[in-house]
Amino acid sequence: MEAYRSVIILCSVVIYMLMCIGVGLWAMRRTKSTHDFFMAGRHLGILVTGVAVFSSTMSGFGFVGGPGLVYKMGVSSFWMVVSASVGISLSFFLLAKRLRLFAELRETISLPDAVLVRYNSRSTSFLTAVAILLGVMGYLAAQIGAMAIVLQTILAEVSWIPSVPREMCLVVSTAVLVFYCVSGGIVASVYTDLVQGLIMVVAALLVLLTAVATVENGMTGMSRILLADDPESIGPWGTLGIVGCLSWYFVFVLGACGQPHVITKFMMTRRLGDARHMLPVSVFGYAISALLWIGIGLSMRALVLSGQEPPLLEADNAAPQFLQHYAHPLLAGVVFAGLLAAIMSTADSFLNIGAAAVVHDIPRAWRGRSLDNELYWARVATVSIAAAAAMFALFSENLVALLGAFGWGTFAAAIVPTVAIGFNWKRATPMACNLAIGASLLVNFFLEVLQIKLPYGFHGGAFSLLISLTIFYLVSVATPPPPIDADIDQAMDL
Amino acid sequence: MKSWPSLVLLVALWAVVLHLLLTPEIVAPDATSDNTASSADAAAPRTAAPLPAEGTAIGHGVPHRNPIFPDMNQGGSGQQRHASVLLGGWLFGALQIALFTGLLAWSAGLPAAAQTQQSAARQSHSWLLPGLFVFGGLVFEVVFALLCRSYQISMLDPANTRFLGSFPEATTWLLFGIWFAPGVFVALYVLFFDRWIFSPQAETQFAALVAARTAAREHPVEEV
C-alpha cells in the first residue's frame, strides 16, 4: 500500500472535491431566495450548525500553521487552542439568543443587518460591513493561497503527473469552492462544513494516536525530549513568554465573539432552543480537532530534536512532513482531505458574508435599500470576491498579509464591542460603535504598516481590542443613548 | 445595568497591561558575546545560543534560537525572562478570567434578574445561578493560580521539573485545567437554558412580539 501512498492521497482529495460539488448541486435546489442563500431559510438543525460553528473556526491555519507554531515555539500556541472552550462559550452566551431573536423578529440576513436594527444607524451598519469586507478579503486570499499550496504539494508527489504550476492549482481549487458556494449559497456551505467537520474530527483523533506512537513513551517521551533541550519550550508559556501568551488568550477568547463568519450561523437555526445543544457540539468538536495541532507539533519537535527526523526547512512543513513519513497512506489521505476541508470550510463562510456585505449591507446602509434581484447579484458577488481574493493571493502577498492582519484585528476589536457587548447593553450608542470601529481600524493599520512590535510579544490585536473596548464603554456612558425600536427593546429584555 | 464593575475591570486591565508593557524588557545579549556565568544562566538550556540583535524585535524577553535547528526557538532562562513580569502576568490572567466570567454571568441575565420581576422562575432560586457562576469562576481562577505557582517552582529549579501525567505540572494545568475549566459554563448553559437563557415564558413573550410585528406589517395603521 505504501507504494500507492501518493495515489491514495490524490484519490481522497478528488473524492472530497466531488463530494463538495455534489453538495452544491443538491443545495442549489433548496436555494430559491436571498434568505435561503444567506440564511439557509433558518432551517438548520443542531448537528449541522454546531459542527459548522467549530469547523468554520478551525481554519487551515489550525491544521498547518498550528503544528508549525508548536514546532517553532513549543507550548506557546496551546493558548490559542485552550482559548476556544471559553471563547466559544462566551459567543453562545452573549450572542446565540440575541442574534436569533433579531433574525426572526426583523428577518435580518447578516451581521450588519442586525447592527442596523439594533442601533438604527446606517453609519454603524456601513462601518461594520466595511470592516467585515476588509477582513474577508485578507482571510479569503490567505485561504485560497493555502488551498493552492496544498493541492500543488499533493500533485507533486504523484509521479505520473507532470509538474503543475501553482496558478493552475489555485484555479482548480477555487473553482470547486466557488461552484458550491454560488450554486448552493450558505446551504451548501454549512452542509459541506458538516462533512468537513466530521473529517477533521476523525483525522485529528487518528493523527494523535499516530503521533503518540512515533516517539518512545508517547507524550511523556516527547515532553522529556523537549525538556532536556529547553525547559521553557515545554513549560506553559513556551518560548513566547507569559505576557505574549496571555495577550493571545485575551484576543482569542474575546475575538471568538467577533468572528462574523462564525456568529452569523447563530441566526440560521430552526429553533432558538437549538443553541442549548449546539454549544457542547461546537466546544467538543473544536477540542478534538485541535488534537492534531498539538499531536503533530509536539511529535515533530521531539523527533527532530532526538535526531529521528531531519530538521524542517520551514516550521509550516511540520504537518505535511509528518503525514508523509509517519501516517498510514489511508490516514494521510483522510488528513489531506481534512486539511482542504478545514481551509474550505472557513473560506466558504467568508465568501458568504463577503457577498452579503457587497450586495445587501453596504447598499442598504448607503442608500437605504439593497440591490434589486439580490439573489442574482449575490451569486455574481460571490464569484467576483473569490476572483479578487485569488488575484491577491497570486500577485500581492504583502497585501494579503496586511489585509489578513487587518481582518483579525478588525473582527476582534471592531465587532466585539459593537455586537457582543452592544447587543446586550442598551446603553451602547452608535457613536461609541463608530468610534470603536474607527479606532480599531486605525490602530491595527498603524501597527501593521509601521511594523510596530509591542514589548514581550504582546499581541497587537489584543492591544487594539482593549482600546476599542475602552472607547466604546466611555463614549457610551458619556453620550445619551438614542431610542431603541420598541420590539428590539423588548427582545433585548428577553 | 450598573456600570461600575465593568469600569473597575477596565481600569484594572489597563493598569496591569501598562505595567507589563512599561517594565523594561531584558535585552538579548550580543550574539557575539559569551554567556557569562550567573545563577540565571545556570538554568538556561545547554544548547541555547542568543539570537542576533534583530531577534529582540519579536519581544520574547530573552529569545534564543536553537543553534542546530534554526527554525526552532528556545525560551532560555525562565527566571531571567519572567522574574519581573510573573506577578503582573498572573494579575493579567486573573483579571481576564474575572472579565470572562463576569461577561458570561451578565449575558445570562444575572444583574437584570436581580433588578426586575420579569421571571418568576429566576426569582425562585435567585441564589443558585450566581452561586454556580461564582463557583465556575473560582475554579477557573484557582486552576490558573496553580498553573502560575507550578511554573514559578519549575522556573526556579528547571533541572527538577515535576511531572503531572505526561507533561510538566504547569503545562498539565494548562492543558487539563485552563482548557476544561470552562466546561462548568458549558454545563450551566445546557442545564439551565430553559430557566435562565430562554425560558418558556420568554418564548411566549417573543412569539407575541413576532405576531404583533407581523400583524403590523400586514395591516399597517393608516396615518391620519
Q: Give the integer Cα–Cα distance in Å for A78 and A17.
A: 31
Q: Is residue A231, in this structure, part of any structural domain at all?
A: yes
Residue A204 pLDDT exceeds 60: yes
> pLDDT value at position A404?
57
Mean pLDDT, residues B94-99 taken together: 96
- Top mean pLDDT of A49-53, A103-107, A128-132, A467-471 is at A467-471
* Chain B residue whose CA is closest to A230: B45
Q: Give the integer Cα–Cα distance in Å for A303 and A309.
A: 5
- Residue A457 gets the label, from left (phi > 0), alpha (psi -120 to 50) or beta, of left
What tens digit of pLDDT does each residue of B6-45 get?
Answer: 889 999 999 999 999 999 877 655 443 333 333 333 334 4
Which is more confident, B111 or B6? B6
> pLDDT value at position B31?
40
Q: Which of A55-59, A274-278, B149-153, B199-203 has the weakest average pLDDT?
A: A55-59
Confidence bin at B189 (pLDDT 50/70/90): very high
What tens digit of pLDDT does each residue of B195-215 get?
Answer: 888 888 888 999 998 888 888
Residues of A in contact with B104 (CB under 8 A): 89-90, 93
Q: Give the integer Cα–Cα distance in Å for B57 and B66.
A: 17
Judged by CB atoms within 8 Å, which residues 175-204 of A form the interface with B?
Answer: none
Residue A431 pLDDT exceeds 90: yes
How close A463 gets to chain B, by Cα (Å)?
Answer: 9
Residue A32 pLDDT exceeds 60: yes
Please indicate whether, in this complex, the C-beta atoms of A287 and B179 are within 8 angstroms of each other: yes
Please indicate whether, in this complex, the C-beta atoms of B58 and A457 are within 8 angstroms of each other: yes
Q: Give the integer Cα–Cα distance in Å for A78 and B129.
A: 31
Selected residue of A106, A243, A257 to mutate for chain B interface (largest B Cβ count, 10 A): A243
- Top mean pLDDT of A4-18, A141-155, A427-441 is at A427-441
> pLDDT value at position A321?
85
What tens digit of pLDDT does each residue of A343-392 get?
Answer: 877 788 888 888 888 888 888 888 777 777 888 888 898 899 989 888 88
Please indicate whether, in this complex, the C-beta atoms of A457 and B59 are within 8 angstroms of each other: yes
Q: What percent of chain B has pLDDT over 70?
A: 72
Nearest to A244 among B13, B60, B69 (CB): B60
Q: Is residue A407, in this structure, part of any structural domain at all?
A: no
The total domain count for chain A is 1
> pLDDT value at position B124?
55
Give the torsion sign (CA, A46, A33, A379, A385).
Answer: negative
Q: Is residue A64, in this structure, part of any structural domain at all?
A: yes
* Chain B residue whose CA is closest to A271: B203
ipTM above 0.85, yes or no: yes
Q: Is residue A111, in this structure, part of any structural domain at all?
A: yes
Count of residues in chain B: 224
Q: Which of A174-188, A430-444, B114-128 has the weakest average pLDDT?
A: B114-128
Q: What percent of chain A has pLDDT over 90?
A: 34
Q: Give the integer Cα–Cα distance in Å for A127 and A362.
A: 9
What tens digit of pLDDT does each residue of A241-255 get?
Answer: 999 999 999 999 999
Which is more confident, B135 or A196? B135
Instruction: Decide: B109 and B121 in contact? Cβ < 8 Å.
Output: no
Judged by CB atoms within 8 Å, which residues 365-424 of A form the interface with B?
Answer: 424
Please indicate whether, in this complex, the C-beta atoms of B69 and A304 are within 8 angstroms of each other: yes
Sheet with B73-74: strands ordered across: B49-50, B64-65, B73-74
Question: For residue A64, which of A353, A401, A341 has the smallest C-alpha distance?
Answer: A341
> pLDDT value at position A268?
87
Q: What is the DSSP letter of A257?
A: G
Please indicate whether, in this complex, the C-beta atoms of B198 and A273 are within 8 angstroms of each other: yes
Q: Which of A132-141, A297-306, B103-112, B127-136 has the weakest average pLDDT?
A: B103-112
Q: Give the integer Cα–Cα distance in Å for A443 and A220.
A: 43
Q: Is residue A179, in this structure, part of any structural domain at all?
A: yes
* Residue B168 main-chain phi, psi, to 5 deg: -55, 150
Provide the 3-class DSSP secondary structure of residue A198. helix
Sequence-ordered alpha helix ranges (H) in B57-124 = 78-82, 86-107, 110-115, 120-124
Q: Is residue A489, in this structure, part of any structural domain at all?
A: no
CATH at residue A333:
1.20.1730.10
Residue A481, chain B, CB below 8 Å: the answer is: no
Residue B52 pLDDT exceeds 60: no
Cα atoms in the 13 Å half-sphere on the side-chain side of B196: 29
Q: Is residue A438, in this structure, part of any structural domain at all?
A: no
Q: Is residue A491, in this structure, part of any structural domain at all?
A: no
Q: Calculate the average pLDDT of chain A.
A: 86
Please indicate whether, in this complex, the C-beta atoms of A493 and B193 are within 8 angstroms of each other: no
Domain that holds residue A332: 2-396
- Top mean pLDDT of B37-51, B90-104, B111-125 is at B90-104
> pLDDT value at position B29?
52
Q: Calculate the average pLDDT of chain B.
A: 78
Supply the pTM of this predicted model: 0.89
CA distances from A336 to A109, A146, A293, A483 (A): 33, 12, 14, 52
**A22-A26-A27-A31 Cα dihedral, nearest 10 degrees:** 140
Residues of B in contact with A425 (CB under 8 A): 1
Confidence bin at A119 (pLDDT 50/70/90): very high
Q: Give the integer Cα–Cα distance in Å for A210 and B60.
A: 32
Please indicate whether, in this complex, the C-beta atoms of B48 and A230 are within 8 angstroms of each other: yes
